[in-house]
Chains A and B, each alone.
Chain A
Amino acid sequence: MKLTYHWWLLAPVLIPAVGCVLLLVLDALLPRLGRSHWAIAAVLLLAGAAAAVPGVLPSADDPRDTLCLPHGGACLYSVDHVGAGLQLAALVSGAVIALLALPIRVPAERAAVQATLLLAATAGATGVVASRDLGSWLVMLELATLPAIALVALRARRAAVDGALALLTTALVSFAITAMGAALWFAATGSALLSGDAVLHAAQDPDSRRILVLAVVFILAGLGFKLSLVPFHAWTPEAFSGASVPIGGFLAVTSKIAALAALLVIFRGVTVLGTSALAAVGVLAAVSMTLGNVMALRERNALRFLAWSTVSQAGWVVLPLAAVSSRAVRSAAAYLMVYALATLVVFAVVTALAHADGRADATDLSSYGGLLRRRPLLAVTLALGLLTLMGLPPAVIGLVAKVAAIGPVAGGRMWILAVIAALNAMLGVAVYLRWLRILFGARKDPEHADALHPLHRILVIVGAAALAVTSIAPQWLLQFVGR
């Protein structure tokens, strides 16, 4: 069998993957390099992002395929416009996480491993976007997941190991479920390709159709773990509060991008079935939003708060997918982009604060008291990020995302779901307002406070600027995921 290759198309996946190997070799040659591995990883990831940029340009072909089977057969690697946007987001967010982690003091031998794991997981995230057959889809998905477990565990504290354990057990069970779903898919369609033709073929026969439905549902349940949808979310607070802060950001952003990308690959195949609604997705979205918001309301730990916020935002991300349409795909991706940007900014602030004031003071919500007067830059940026997650002006981009997410649901006349979403938007305001109020409240000084690390300061300023600019012109961000 002979495949055709387009290296420049594969570059967003290949650069981080090859980078892993290079980094390990480099570490073997120069063991004392220490934390500069993070910088190398960031450069590699940004290079990958640069390679993904041609795909998001308006002039790009849609989709762009490679690894095609001979004789006009199916292509195993395909990047459409939304996919390119997701790849870009995953790579940029990975680079930001690497830069955030750079100033943090860790044993020198651990930095290289962590940077390698980050590269591997990001490579998995970019790969799963484009994979069009069951095999590479599963492998890429696990490549995005398993390094994350190790990243959590490598903080080497009791809490981190607990979190990693929770993540590992859930990940393994979920992998089993996903593999089962993949097997059912193969049984139903008789093909390892995730293409619409195979699905259509399978849907004609009632028996294989039933199996196909079961396959989709199993895959959804398996991915629910990675998206932290309720009830597959139990690992989220443990892992977030256990991991080091930038790794928490990785779980919240890059990992979520990979999960949604994986779901969208399956979803694209399903849209051809012509069903109008996926009740299971709607129910999962509604339950996740509600539970995430309600639990976040009583949370006192900032990292666990962000974990619950992730759970509820995951509900928002999959909400549009309840209505099966290509518009829903774009809406979900758009919401994910906005969520990723805002969450990344919030994590950048928390990381910067944890680095300057000590982790204990950055994880307790009450220690954010009077941050506006203590560290105005961090407070304003954090407020912008929280307002975006809330969906309230002046962070217009958040509002735009919420409207985009509800749009397909209202278009599909799923009024109950739309009402639940609207109620959760209100509840979400209360959730994030709790943190905002603390920022503007009574001042509480930590025991010892250092200056911000310059790199952190730059990243926070860039994040604030990105939120401000996208709030003025939301299309600059949203154009990456569709027209």
Chain B
Amino acid sequence: MMLGDGRFDSSTLALDFALQPSHLVVLLPAAIPVLVILLTRRSAAAFVVSATLSFLGLAAAIALLAQQARGGAVASPGTIGQLPVGPGFSIPLHLQVDRLSVLVAVAVGLVSWAVQLFTRWYLYSDPRYRQFAATVGLFTAAMQLVVLSGDLLLTLIGWELMGWCSYLLIGHESERSKARRAAYKAFLVTRIADTPLVIGLAILALGARSTDLGVVVTHWTHAAAHHHTALAAALLCLICAVAGKSAQVPFQDWLPDAMEGPTPASALIHAATMVAAGTVVLGKLVALLELSDPARLVLTIVASVSMVGAGVLAFLQHDLKRLLAWSTVSQVALMLLGLAVVTPRAGADLGIAHLLSHAMFKALLFLMMGWLSVLVAGTTVERLSGVLSKYPGCRRMVGIGLLALAGVPPFAGFVSKDLIIDQAARGGIDGDTSARIAFAALACVVLLTAAYSMRMWLILIHRTGAQRVQALEVVEDSYAVQEVGIVDMLVGLPPVDQHGRPIDGAVAQPAPIAEVEEEDDLLVHQQPGGGARFGLQLLALLSVVGGLLIFSPMLDVDWKHPNGWLIGAGLLLMGAVALLVRMMSVGTVYGDAAARVPVFVRAAASRGFDVDRIYVAVVRPVVGLAHVVTRLEGRLDAGVQRLPEASAALARRTARLHTHRPTTGLLAVSVGLVAVGLMGVILW
């Protein structure tokens, strides 16, 4: 039809057309907010639009993947053309399509689509569902832009857009002050961390006299020997921004607070988009990272500290959604380590591989957490304890997610994690400091991950005793009482006079008995629609078999030399830790192994070890400075306020000099002549 002969090559799937699949990957999600806000007025219509477009976005990503696999993809499709900034500098604003970015784009599209389907169920009665769906679309578009960007400026645009969207998503329930605070916090912390990003990108672009990613990498690869410090400075700036976006130390604290947002938003932010954006950007510049030892070392330390600390915090969380949040911090740190320990001239494949598997199982876990939280109306240990024994239908998928998170073979999490550990071990043997630090941290984190995954599983499947059954009945009774409602009672009763007698002999009508909802109806409400469930099952399937991706030519990793001893030892230790956690959980009320830990430690952990206070302490001088500025401005304002008065007084005084007689005019002329004459002679 539109594509004539010669425009489409069926062997390579190459498409000779201005609009490439890579454009569609970005544009289709970007069209969601436009269409939803402009065209739809009802949630149902908004859902149709957003679900369709995000599915088409996913389809475009898959088409791009097929093109890339067959060799027909356009490597650097242009967008709006080069920005006219003069001959000394070039801003081509083009995209860049390569193996890794295509894979990530597919993962982002898939998670975004699953989230859109799930959101419809999760926010069914939310009057602002449309806005949420629109923001999810914009957010996805921003992430796809970062993923496919071949120009530092486009990267920056997508990066900033994501920051704004995350603010909107986290603060979606803006009537709650906690949600507003969390949104502000996320925005401010990431914003502050973003400042160095602009500086870092500017250094890189100015050095290369171009914002073209390829040109930047080539230029700095050659210039690294001479301008080592500048390169290190730029990369450190970038690492700072990545730490902010990916919630690494010292910016980690916004992410758990961001759990105030609706669960689909958490799934989106945590699984494949915002926190992973740091990995994507660093992955594009990994060739430069290899050349700068200081930057690598800093990245390793930051990631290692974040990884272990977040693992410990995850184990101690009282709120299981926050447990998943901390586990995200830990897993993203793992990806970053995958970038930090690469061998020279290798790509970012290790980090990206873990990004992909993490995207699958973390999206699955978050969406399942959203499902469970709707069932029990909460995400704390008390609420969620035993939920899987009550609703066994969710059991399989939660189990798959947790096994993948823990890294049990043959799940996807195991494969990608094992590759990073292998690489770190090899690097450590070769005497690389970064790799040694990374290996030590990784050894700890494997056990920690196993521990908190096991803890979560035990809580969720905890079997209740008789006491607990009774408590549940009380809860259900009170639920039944609440159903009646005082307003219904008042409406249903016949009108009475002041003495309580029926007026006008009105016969008291028996209140209509509320129809008991059918058990099936209840079930329908208790589980997401078929599309959403299919999305979850797809995510679960990919969490299981996603590890097979490493055998494909799309990922360039060394899978042929696994270290059997290392795997064996790791699995043994993980089993031991799991057993330990099981033992700790025995005899606790909710099956919570962390209940054995002293309360004050758990309380502190729930607050993220009070890092907030350090933030406040850091900010205090800035606030002081702001006060000084405010005071100065107040002075200035007062001065300006006095200005009209002063000019009025001046006017009164000069008006007195202006008598209406010609002689004063003449006098003024003479004075003026003398004054001007003197000025002329003296100041000429």
> Chain A interface (Cβ within 8 Å of chain B)?
162, 165-166, 169-170, 173-174, 177, 210, 213-214, 216-218, 220-221, 224-225, 230-235, 237-238, 275, 278-280, 283-284, 291, 293-295, 297-298, 427, 430
Contact = CB atoms under 8 A, between A and B. Distances in A.
Interface stretch (B258-266, B452-460, B655-663): B655-663
B492 to A, nearest CB: 59
Contacts of A283: 676, 679
Interface in B627-662: 644, 647-648, 650-652, 654-655, 658, 660, 662
B493 interface: no
Interface in B127-179: none
Contacts of A216: 680
Contacts of B654: 291, 294-295
Given A162-B660, A177-B673, A235-B665, A279 B647 contact: no
B677 A214 contact: yes
Contacts of B671: 231
Nearest to B663: A169
B522 interface: no
Contacts of A213: 680-681, 684
Nearest to B653: A294
B676 A280 contact: yes
B681 A214 contact: yes
B75 interface: no
B669 interface: yes
A294 B673 contact: no
B684 A279 contact: yes
23 contacts: A166-B662, A166-B665, A169-B662, A169-B665, A170-B662, A170-B666, A177-B673, A216-B680, A217-B679, A218-B673, A221-B677, A224-B676, A232-B672, A275-B684, A280-B679, A283-B679, A291-B654, A293-B647, A294-B647, A294-B651, A295-B654, A297-B647, A298-B648
Contact of B669 (A173, A214, A295): A173
Given A231-B671, A231-B672, A298-B651, 17 more contacts: A169-B666, A170-B665, A170-B669, A173-B669, A177-B669, A213-B681, A214-B680, A214-B681, A216-B680, A232-B668, A234-B662, A283-B676, A291-B654, A295-B651, A295-B655, A298-B652, A430-B644
B637 to A, nearest CB: 15
B681 A217 contact: yes
B672 A280 contact: no
A75 to B, nearest CB: 29
Contacts of B655: 295, 298
Interface of B: 644, 647-648, 650-652, 654-655, 658, 660, 662, 664-666, 668-673, 675-677, 679-681, 683-684
A82 B246 CA distance: 64
Contacts of A295: 651, 654-655, 658
Contacts of A279: 679-680, 683-684
A450 to B, nearest CB: 32
Contacts of A220: 676, 680
A221 B662 contact: no
B66 to A, nearest CB: 53
A210 B668 contact: no
A279 B677 CA distance: 11
Nearest to B677: A217
Contacts of B648: 297-298
Top 8 A-B pairs, shortest CB-CB distance: A234-B665, A217-B680, A279-B683, A231-B672, A231-B668, A169-B662, A280-B679, A298-B651
B671 to A, nearest CB: 6
A173 B644 CA distance: 36
Nearest to B644: A430
A236 to B, nearest CB: 9
Q: Which of A210, A283, A294 has the most B CB atoms < 10 Å from its CB?
A: A294
Given A295-B655, A297-B648, A224 B679 contact: no
A284 B676 contact: yes
A166 B675 CA distance: 21
Contacts of A280: 676, 679-680, 683
A220 B678 CA distance: 13
A388 to B, nearest CB: 22
A221 B650 CA distance: 24
A231 B669 contact: yes
A210 B684 CA distance: 10
A174 B651 contact: no
Contacts of A177: 669, 673
A263 to B, nearest CB: 13
Nearest to B659: A234
Nearest to A290: B650
Contacts of B662: 165-166, 169-170, 234-235
Contacts of A162: 660
A216 B681 CA distance: 10
A217 B650 contact: no
Contacts of B676: 217, 220-221, 224, 280, 283-284
Contacts of A173: 666, 669-670
A294 B650 contact: yes
Contact of A224 (B672, B683, B684): B672
A177 B673 CA distance: 8
A294 B654 CA distance: 9
Nearest to A275: B684
Contacts of B672: 221, 224, 230-232
Contacts of B665: 166, 169-170, 234-235
Given A213-B684, A294-B654, A225 B679 contact: no
B250 to A, nearest CB: 45
Nearest to A241: B660
A46 B157 CA distance: 59
Contacts of A166: 660, 662, 665
Contacts of B680: 213-214, 216-217, 220, 279-280
A278 B684 CA distance: 6
Given A177-B673, A217-B676, A220-B676, A234 B668 contact: yes
Contacts of B652: 298
A482 B548 CA distance: 75
Nearest to B647: A294
